[in-house]
Amino acid sequence: MSEPGVWSEADLDHILGRYGVLIIERAGADMDQAIDSLSRWRHNIHLIHQLVQNDVSSTKVRLFLRRGLSVRYLLPAPVVDYIEQHGLYMDDGAGAAEKEKGKEKEATAASSSSSSTS
């Protein structure tokens, strides 16, 4: 919400003015800087500071899954179950990388066989 130009002023006023927001601190984020552009609604913005570092992100989850690592201790069990049941992130990375390696090998093999027959 603090990224300029992403939300319209009317939407910000509607959401932050009427309802407010909870912002959960994330590792490496400057919370004061993040809410500077939202200072008009500061009275309705509630910051939740980290007691335990939480650097879990969707990027990290995809990376772990791509590498065949477990995400069981990063995410709630129902979320992990949902990811597994719906095959999410299965075509992200590992499968695609393996396909690319296979294509590269085929191209190299085709190239070397055509140069050896000439």
**Residue 61 CB neighbour total at 10 angstroms:** 20
Domain range summary for the chain, segments of one domain joined by +: 1-52, 56-111
Question: Can you tell me the mean pLDDT for 23-45?
Answer: 85
Model confidence at 97, pLDDT cuts 50, 70, 90, reads: very low
Contact by Cβ (8 Å): 35, 42: yes
| Model confidence pLDDT, tens digit, residues 101-113 | 444 455 545 544 4
| Model confidence pLDDT, tens digit, residues 3-33 | 777 889 999 999 999 999 998 887 777 888 8
Does the pLDDT value for residue 117 go beyond 90? no
**The pTM is what?**
0.46
Q: How many CA atoms lie within 13 A of 109 on its CB side?
A: 6
Does the pLDDT value for residue 118 go beyond 80? no
